[in-house]
Amino acid sequence: MIDQKILYSDCPCKSGKKFKFCCYNSIRDLLPNDPTRAMVADAIRERARSQKIEKLISQHSNIDLNGFHRHIKRGVDYLNNYKFDFAEREFLLAKEKFEFAPTPYNNLALSAIIQGKIDEAEEIARDAIKRFPCENPFGMALYADIKYIKGEIAEALKILEQAENITPNSADHAVRVCESFAHYKHHQRIIDYIIKCDYEDDPNAAFFLGIAFANLGKESEAINYLRIASEGIHYEYAEKILDKLIHGEKPDTICGDWMYFADNSYPLSNCILKHNEKDNGGLQTTAEAASEFIEIQVNDGYLEIKDAIKMLSYVICKNAERLLNALRLDESRPESIRKAAQKVYEKNYIKNKFGENLSKQQDPLIQGMIISEDALIPLPLPEEEKVKYEKAVQIILDPSSKKNDFKKAFIILEDFYNKNSDFPSIANNYASALSRLGKYEEAKKIIRDCFAAHPEYVFGAANYLNILMSEKKIDEARAMYDNYNLPNKIHPLAYLSWYNVATKYLSLIGDKQSINQMKKIRNKIVKEFDL
């Protein structure tokens, strides 16, 4: 019996018709009792594959499908038992039986990866993609992982983009693509991809959906999908996370996020471990892959944090920086751990990065920035209204203002905001008023929107950076600080507002050198404008 919701939903073949009036009659004999939508999608794709194979068989007399499947099964069994020579022989024999399938190529590349023969794996995977450019998302994801291991991140992401635009032949292929997304913590991308491919109720795909939703703070969705995942290959890990979510617990990981991989499920484990062997075929495990492996090992309790910090001192990349940031800022950890992480962080990231960046970006003498009292954006108000508005702002910003005065000023400011919500100064001051009332979420949304719409408004930029720090979103704060360019003409008070927040940020990351640089500029401005 097929669920009526599935029967009258859009057909997975993407025809735009309802399933009952499209592919149902042609695949009904292929379906089990009470099939899921994922099973329906697989059956439709299996029918398409079968039709293609039948056509090939009619054109080529040397095709032996039974022999092909037999060799693939034997090869996979050998591969799972690390009998690589036997496995590869079976995959080569399978290729002889049926040369029009990417599976033997994919498995040969996988075998090479596990052995640490990364150059050999790359050659095989590249050949597979050339031969099967439109029907091999599994191989493309594998190729992307090879690029990830080699540190060619931009190329890896480009290949993944191609993979996600190909309809997978099965749920296993979709899951393989999700595994690659997981290295980069592309949560929303995983969700969109699985839903697009109609594999929401496949247990192995549901696992990645559950983790992705959990990381986005959508606990109810995460719980629903992890319940489905408890019937898949990741059932132990899924049930562990499910139990934590049900009881309102947070992740006990370095960075406080839900991990996609445990030690026994990380697809690159063997490859990375081979790095230390003499016969590794020349593999040089790169920083991103190595730091991810370290993170998993620590989270699973197989590696002491002090040893991880030492290892991270030799691994310089974005993910390693993220891990060190989390360790040095986590006040729940022993002081010795935080100090050790801080020392490595300063050595690998601050001197070469933040200090140099600041001297180019913040110093008006270098940048040619004009500090001027004429640089404020004019208020779009009549003079009488402007006086009323500025008086209300003074009361709002004065911590000693009386309760009744504040209440009246807030009503005035709220009215101005409702009439001029797109003006940055009014929006920013109204958000400050909301913060004083304890309405933090509403205030944060206004400030975020203000900065997004008016990045040139420095007071808003300073406010936004401050919010990111208060929420302990250090990676986002770093990205904003690194990429934000102060306007060429800036009001002295706007610069001081930025200075106060930027100094707070630089103190947080321990960059004393850059603080001293900014302080010199700040003192010049205070003296020149008598502030």
DSSP per position, 129-168: HHH-TTS-HHHHHHHHHHHHHTT-HHHHHHHHHHHHTS--
What average pLDDT does the segment 389-407 reach?
85
Q: What average pLDDT does the segment 311-339 reach?
A: 88
The pLDDT value recorded for residue 187 is: 93
Residues in the chain: 531
pLDDT bin (cut points 50, 70, 90) of residue 367 is very low
Q: Residues near 250 by Cβ (< 8 Å), separated by ≥ 6?
A: 244, 256
Task: Give the DSSP H/E element, type plus range, for residue 371.
Answer: strand 370-371
Contact, 411 vs 392, CB < 8 A?
no
Quote the CA–CA distance of 514 and 521 in Å, as a whole number: 11
CATH number at residue 460: 1.25.40.10
Whether 173 and 48 have beta carbons less than 8 Å apart is answered as: no
Domain total of the chain: 2
- Above 60 in pLDDT, residue 89? yes
Backbone CA torsion sign across 361, 528, 464, 254: positive
Instruction: Indicate if the pLDDT at residue 337 is higher than 80.
Output: yes
Grade residue 59 by pLDDT with cuts at 50, 70 and 90: low
Domain annotation covers residue 215? no
pLDDT at 369: 59
Q: What is the pLDDT of residues 239-265, one digit of tens each?
A: 999 999 999 999 989 988 999 998 667
Q: Is residue 214 part of a domain?
A: no
pLDDT, average across residues 23-27: 75
- Please determine, for residue 209, whether its predicted confidence score (pLDDT) is greater than 90: yes
What pLDDT sits at residue 239?
A: 93
Rounded to an integer, what distance in angstroms lies between the CA atom of residue 463 and that of residue 445? Answer: 11
pLDDT, residue 60, reads 59
Which residue, of 25, 41, 59, is where some domain finishes?
Answer: 59
Residue of higher predicted confidence among 10 and 340 = 340
- Which among 24-38, 339-353, 480-494 has the top mean pLDDT? 480-494
Residue 212 falls inside a structural domain: no
Among 13, 38, 59, the domain boundary falls at 59
Average pLDDT over residues 170-185: 92
Residue 454, in any domain of the structure: yes
pLDDT of residue 108: 94
Where in the sequence is the domain holding 400, given as residue range(s)?
371-529
The phi-psi region of residue 3 (left if phi > 0; otherwise alpha if psi is between -120 and 50; otherwise beta) is beta
Q: What is the pLDDT of residue 144?
A: 94
Is there a domain that residue 26 lies in? Answer: yes
pTM for the whole structure: 0.59
In a domain, 120, yes or no: no
**Closest C-alpha among 484, 467, 456, 387 to residue 432:** 467
Q: Where are the alpha helices (DSSP H) in 260-313?
A: 269-273, 287-299, 305-312
Which position has the higher pLDDT, 52 or 281? 52
Q: Of 457, 505, 453, which is closest to residue 477 (Cα–Cα)?
A: 505
Average pLDDT, the chain: 82
Within-domain flag for 485: yes
More confidently predicted of 3 and 192: 192
Residue 490 host element (H or E) = strand 489-490
Q: How confident is the model at residue 116 (pLDDT cuts 50, 70, 90)?
A: confident
Q: What is the pLDDT of residue 106?
A: 92
Return the pLDDT at 456: 82
Which residues partner with 91 through β-bridges? none
Within a domain: residue 493? Answer: yes
pLDDT at 411: 92
30-34, 82-86, 305-309, 438-442: least confidently modelled range: 30-34
Residue environment code for 416-427, b if the CB has 16+ CB neighbours within 10 A, otherwise e: bbeebeebbbbb
Residue 168 has pLDDT above 80, yes or no: yes
The token duo for 144 is: 């992307």
Question: Which residue among 21, 36, 59 closes a domain?
Answer: 59
